[in-house]
Amino acid sequence: MSLTILQKQDLDSFVRKLMLDYRVVGPVATDGRFAFEVITDPAELRLDYPTTILPPKKFLLPTKEVLFKFDNTDGGSIEAPPLDPPTVILGVHTCDVHAIQLLDAVFDTGYADPNYLSRRNRTLIVSIECLTPCDENSFCKSMGTLSADEGFDLHLTDLGDTYTVDTGSEAGEALLGQCKICHTASQEEIKRLNQVLNEKWPKFPYRLEFDISDLPSLLSMNMKSPLWNELGERCLACAACTNVCPTCFCFDVRDEVEFDLKHGARVRNWDSCQLDEFATIGDGHNFRKSRALRQRHRFMRKGKYILDAHHHLGCVGCGRCARACLVNITPVGVFNELYKQSEAGS
């Protein structure tokens, strides 16, 4: 599809136009950090953000969502919740684009999850090319997520005064059709885009000491590594890592009752395999009692189990968990340590 140019000065009016038909979500500054929020004024948008506290996942799989409302007055009746409005998420980094592709696969495999999919089907992704590393914790280049060939409806690249806009879907093309101020890129602009893309690549370091294709077998070989116990000793089981993760999708379902004890809602909340009770059954038996086993489970999911099941890695290298961890447990640290141990042992 053709490449389009949007002048930066016209972004404001393009977003205002989107806001007529969509709930528009994008990165905004919040207390010195950044977060994806619903945009009420395009001037709030900060497409130059390094990273956000939570990934845009929260608009597809909300931290808490109502599955249904119930009324217990007369034998019990249930009612579907209202749907979220059609949404455009602006400024999604390519690591998060990869994460959303994984979530799409997860929720569309086996039993299709109606809540996620109906929300996803009404959400458009406008991603943006990262031109500099967000900080020392990101390792997108090692994970193969420094670019995205698909998974977006539109994709922006900052050329200084202008954005180039790649089209990734028919829906994206229709969206761009509303942009009367955009124009097709000239040969000069295409050349400038290629230059920017070429220049960005060396700015990002490889942070894993081995090739990512070796990660699943590395993890398989290390089921019994002493490293898991070391992590277990350090881990506070606070679940910050899974709470900020763009690919974590485990949830809990519980009922919330109103004060009249008759009305209420069944809600699903994000949950975490790092929490003590996650694998505990009714009689109190906990199948993953130690923090070491819970950390192992987390990293096995990220680097192997999810890949085996869905053909997408469960880690996209965004670095959020590394930033959130209070005891400095990081995927880069863990994966490199396993690699070093296996090299030393072989």
Partner 1 sequence: MMNRTYAPTSEELNVGTDLFFPEMALITKTEALNDTNKLLTLELPKGRSLDHRPGQFVEVSLLGIGEAPISISSSPSRSNGVFELCVRQVGDVTNALHRLNPGAKVGIRGPFGHGFPIEKFRGKDMLFAPGGLGLAPLRSLINQVLDERALFGRVIILYGARNPDELLFKDELKQWGERDDLELHLTVDRGDDTWKGHTGVITTLFKDISVNPRNTVAFTVGPPVMYRFVLMEFHGKGISEGNIYLSLERRMKCGIGKCGHCQINNVYTCQSGPVFTYRDIKGLEEAL
Query: Do 335 and 222 contact (CB within 8 A), yes or no?
Result: no
Is 259 a residue that touches partner 1 (CB under 8 A)? no
Binding of partner 1 by 20 (CB under 8 A): no
- What distance in Å separates the CA atoms of residue 329 and residue 143, rounded to the nearest whole number? 18
Gap between the Cα atoms of 58 and 54, Å rounded: 7
Determine if 110 is a binding residue for partner 1 (CB under 8 A).
Answer: yes
Per-residue binding string, partner 1, 267-306, x by CB under 8 A, is -x--x-x----xxxxxxxx-xx----x---x--xx--xx-
**H/E element, 154:** strand 154-158
Q: Near partner 1 by CB under 8 A, which window of 8-16, 46-54, 70-78, 207-215?
A: 70-78
Taking the least distance from each CB to partner 1, the nearer of 186 and 220 is: 220
Mapping DSSP onto H, E and C, the string for 81-145 reads: CCCCCCEEEEEECHHHHHHHHHHHHHHCCCCCCHHHHHHHHCEEEEEECCCCCCCCCCCHHHHCC
Among 20, 31, 32, 111, indicate the residue that binds partner 1 (CB under 8 A): 111
Q: Which of 243, 223, 246, 215 lies closest to 325 in space, CA to CA?
A: 243
**72 contacts partner 1 (rule: CB under 8 A):** yes
Contacting residue, 261, 344, 345, 346, with partner 1 by CB under 8 A: 261
Query: How many whole angstroms separate alpha carbon 125 and alpha carbon 169?
Result: 10
Binding of residue 223 to partner 1 (CB under 8 A): yes
User: Is 78 an interacting residue with respect to partner 1 (CB under 8 A)?
Assistant: yes
Running DSSP on this structure, what letter comes out for residue 47?
A: T
- Check binding of 207 to partner 1 (CB under 8 A): no
Instruction: Judge whether 316 and 302 are in contact, CB under 8 Å.
Output: no
Contact set with partner 1 (CB under 8 A): 21, 67-68, 70, 72, 75-76, 78, 80-81, 83, 86, 104, 106-115, 117-118, 120-124, 153, 169, 171, 174, 223, 249-255, 257, 261, 264, 266, 268, 271, 273, 278-285, 287-288, 293, 297, 300-301, 304-305, 308-309
